[in-house]
Amino acid sequence: MTESSRPRRPGFGPVLWGSVALFALLFVLLTYQLAAATEPEPRPVVQRKVIKRRVVTTVVPSPGAPVESGGEPAESSSPSEAPPVETAPPVEAAPPVTTSAS
Amino acid sequence: MSEHDVSFDAMGSHVRLLIGEPGPAMETAEEAAAGARRFVAEFDAALSRFKPGSELCALNADRRERVPASALMRAAVKAGLTAAERSGGLVDPTLADEIEAAGYLESRSGMEGVPLADALAAAPPRRPAAPATAARWREIEVDDDGGTISRPPGVRFDTGGAGKGLAADLIAARLSGYSRFVVDCGGDIRIGGADAANHPYSISVEHPLSGRRPYVLRLRGGAVATSGLNVRIWRDDDGRYMHHLLDPASGEPAWTGLIGVTALGATAVEAETLAKAALLSGPARGRELLAATGGLLVHDSGRVERAGSLSVRPRMRLPEPAGAAR
């Protein structure tokens, strides 16, 4: 009859140095990967302009009444100092305050 | 930021009031609007050329040289004289006979006009208007202390040149304590209130040919007025096209190459005077007149020209073409 012998436990030294070696190996590998990596190309940002369309229903006084849309060409004339006014396309407001001949 | 918004017809035009929050111990915006509406009715009753019982008609018919006049009548005459002085006689308040001879005998409010494009095609060669050599307006004197108006009998006064602007200015004076307000008397607009400086009003400008509103002016105060040929235009018995902006030198409707002018000013009377004077002056001189305060000139072709401060184009953006929105 033979008696099975218990496996010997590894010594403290090999375990320590094995762990250090494995850690160093992984550290070097990851550092190399990090250094070799390149910046990813930025993804193009899709810009979408949300345009809110409102259908304004009003009582039209007569056929061909003015509608608020369109643009007229403009020309500059004499320059002057900056005024407290700005020009911009019509804003949606119902009804707008309007200056016109009367 | 609530506002009371009220509209009504008066002075042969459309009047609109936007009134913000009242100051301490002031009447509500609704009450102020009602008061302003009563004032406009009194203004119209006293100063209309088309109401036989008005004080203006009584003044014009009076054969005395010196005539007692109300404070409102004196203010209207002074506004007309200021306009004449400021425009070098182009905006002449003494053309009542001439405007009636042209066929403008009654209010044209609600009357259907004729197409401006047809009138332009048939109009005589364009030339700037000029002041009348007689300059009858220089013979009018207002005496506030005595409460009278003096003028040679027969010289008739017409408030048409500055009437709506004066009404807007007088209403604006009543609303000065409110946070913000707009007074629109038939397109002659006065803006005020401390809050308007922070949140400017957007005022659309109507194109005289297309009827569209291609521009918006953002105003923090002051006034804007438009003068144009597209309204109050008619044909006389001979088929000639007539309108209400007369060349003082000839007494006939002026065809100067401009069909509309929008002018900015400190007061509505000033803006209205500048708009009329620029239109009567034609493009070259009109451009100069608007250089100081800014404005828009609309040529016979419909082309819009920016003048003065508006030519800087601080935030000009044309509307996007149709179909651009998806």
- Verify whether the Cβ–Cβ distance B303 to A76 is below 8 Å: no
Tell which phi-psi region holds residue A10, choosing left (phi > 0), alpha (psi between -120 and 50) or beta: beta
CA distances from B323 to A51, A68, B232, B319 (A): 11, 17, 37, 12
Q: What is the pLDDT along chain B (326 residues), one digit of tens a residue?
A: 689 999 999 988 899 999 999 999 999 999 999 999 999 999 999 999 889 999 999 999 999 999 999 999 999 999 999 999 999 999 999 999 898 888 777 766 666 778 899 999 999 999 999 999 999 999 999 999 999 999 999 999 998 768 999 999 999 999 999 999 999 999 999 999 999 988 999 999 999 998 888 788 999 999 999 999 988 888 888 888 989 899 999 999 999 999 999 999 999 999 999 999 999 999 999 999 999 999 999 999 999 999 988 876 544 444 444 444 33
**Mutation site for A-interface testing, chosen from B8, B181, B212, B213 by largest number of A Cβ within 10 Å:** B213
Look at residue B323 in the predicted model and tell me its pLDDT: 42
How far is B98 from chain A, CA to nearest CA, in Å?
19
Q: State ipTM.
A: 0.78
A10–chain B Cβ distance below 8 A for any pair: no
- Verify whether the Cβ–Cβ distance B306 to A76 is below 8 Å: yes
The pLDDT-based confidence of A7 (bands split at 50, 70, 90) is confident
- Measure the CA–CA gap between B182 and B34, rounded to whole angstroms: 15
- Verify whether the Cβ–Cβ distance A51 to B325 is below 8 Å: yes
Cβ distance B190 to B171 under 8 Å?
yes
Residue in A64, A96, A100 nearest the CB of B202: A96
The amino acid sitting at B71 is: A
Contacts B309 to A, Cβ<8 Å? 80-83, 85
DSSP assignment, residue B288?
H
The CATH number for B4-312, chosen from 3.40.50.40, 3.10.520.10, 2.60.120.380, 3.20.10.10, is 3.10.520.10
Q: Cis peptide before A95, with omega less than 30 degrees from 0?
A: yes
B286 phi/psi in degrees, rounded to 5: -60, -40
The amino acid sitting at B320 is: E
- Verify whether the Cβ–Cβ distance B221 to A90 is below 8 Å: no
Structure tokens given for B240:
């000639």
- Measure the CA–CA gap between B295 and B309, rounded to whole angstroms: 7
The amino acid sitting at B276 is: K
Residue linked to tokens 């009563």: B38
Residue in A87, A99, A101 nearest the CB of B189: A99
The amino acid sitting at A12 is: F
- Verify whether the Cβ–Cβ distance A84 to B288 is below 8 Å: no
Ranges of each domain in chain B: 4-312
Cβ distance B196 to B178 under 8 Å?
no
For the packed helices B268-281 and B163-174, what is the interaxial angle rounded to 10 degrees? 160
| Element at A16 (helix H, strand E) | helix A12-36
- Verify whether the Cβ–Cβ distance B213 to A90 is below 8 Å: yes
How far is A31 from chain B, CA to nearest CA, in Å?
49
Q: How many helices (H) and strands (E) does chain A have?
A: 1, 3
Residue-wise pLDDT for B191-219, tens only, equals 999 999 889 999 999 999 988 887 889 99
By CB atoms closer than 10 A (0-12, 13-18, 19+), residue B14 is: middle
